[in-house]
Structure formats: structure tokens, C-alpha cells
Structure 1
Amino acid sequence: MITHIVFFKLKDGSRENVAHTAEVLRNMEGKIDQLKYIEVGVDVLHTERSFHIALVTKFESMADLEAYQVHPVHQEVIKHMAQVRESAVSVDYES
């Protein structure tokens, strides 16, 4: 398995904007065959070093992760995230 984790800091950290963006991410569930697991978490601490949203996804292989990256549903999410994110960091590892 490949685990892909991304943390997002949004330009607008309002409760409404964070909730909407989290829903955009969750909306990928069941729409991309290669996506075996998805979890979207919203930060509850709201500290200076906090990111607003965490995305955890799992794939059977690197090939599946690569297919996810170019999938049309994910490409639409990328467009949304490009508009709303201030920054993002990620890590990918074998699990």
C-alpha cells in the first residue's frame, strides 16, 4: 500500500470555507477506482502552526497513485485547491 498525506493551509480559514473545502475533498470518495481509502480531517486546535485540513489517502501501488493524480475527478479538486490554498505539504510512503 501507498499512503499519501497532504496538509492544506487555506487563504481563508473561516469555518465555512474550511468546511466547504473539506467536502470538496471528501467528494472524491467512490469516484476514483484506484482510491482505496480516504479520510479528511479538519483541524480542531487552531494554533499558529496548524494547517486547516489533512487529507489521508491509500492506494494499492505507485501506479494507482499516479493514475489518481491524473484522474479527471482529482483534476477538478486540484483546480479548486489551487484557488483556495495558501500552502500545502505532503508525504508519500509505503504502508
Structure 2
Amino acid sequence: MFTHIVFFKLKEPTKENLKFVEQTLLSMDGNIEGLKELEVGIDVIRKERSFDVGIIARFDSKENCLAYDVNEFHVEKVKKVVGPYLECTKSLDF
């Protein structure tokens, strides 16, 4: 199993923006070949060092994760859609 974790910091973390980003990220479930498990969460502690939204995505292999990164649905319907809402992202892959 290969795990891909991403943290998102929004420019304007309003309730509406958080929900929109969450729903957009959740739309990947069932639409990306090789994506086995997907969890999306909105931060509830809200500390200074906290990110606003996070995902945990699981794949059978590193190669499936790399294919997901350039998958048309991921690029066109997720990255391009949420990109304007984001201040920064950080990821961890293992």
C-alpha cells in the first residue's frame, strides 16, 4: 500500500470555501483509476500552525500514485478547480 497525504492552506478559509474544497476533493472517489481509499477532513482545532483541509489517499503502488497526479480528472476537475482557493499545500508520500 502506498499513502499520499496532502495538507491545504486556504487563502480565505470561510465555511463555504472549506466545504467547496472538501466536496471537490471528495469527487475524486470513484473517478480515478488506482485510487483505492480516500479520506478528506477539515481541521477543527484551528491553531496557528494548522492547515485547513487534508487528504489521505491510498494506492496499491507508487506508480499508481504517480499516475493519479497526472490523471485528467485530478488535473482538470480538482487541481484547477481548487487551485485559486489555495495559499499553499504540503505533501507526504510513503
1:36-86 deviation per Cα after TM superposition (whole angstroms, max 9, x unaligned): 000000000111111100110001111101111111110021112321110
TM-score normalised by the chain length of structure 2: 0.95
Q: Give yes or no for the alignment of 1:46 onto 2:73.
A: no
Moved over 2 A (4+): none
User: Which consecutive residues of structure 1, in runs of 5 or more, have no partner in the other structure?
Assistant: none
Q: In the alignment, which residue of structure 2 is the partner of 1:60?
A: 60
Matched to 2:82, the amino acid is: M
Q: In the alignment, which residue of structure 2 is the partner of 1:88?
A: 89
Matched to 1:31, the amino acid is: N
Matched to 2:79, the amino acid is: I
Q: In the alignment, which residue of structure 1 is the partner of 2:25?
A: 25
Q: In the alignment, which residue of structure 2 is the partner of 1:14?
A: 14
User: Which consecutive residues of structure 2, in runs of 5 or more, have no partner in the other structure?
Assistant: none
SS of the residue 2:67 aligns to:
helix
What is the number of equivalent residue pairs in this alignment? 93
Identity over aligned residues, as a percent? 42
| Cα RMSD (Å) | 0.8
Matched to 1:86, the amino acid is: E
Rounded Cα–Cα distance in structure 1 between residues aligned with 2:16 and 2:67: 31
Rounded Cα–Cα distance in structure 1 between residues aligned with 2:14 and 2:91: 22
SS of the residue 2:19 aligns to:
helix
Rounded Cα–Cα distance in structure 2 between residues aligned with 1:52 and 1:66: 24
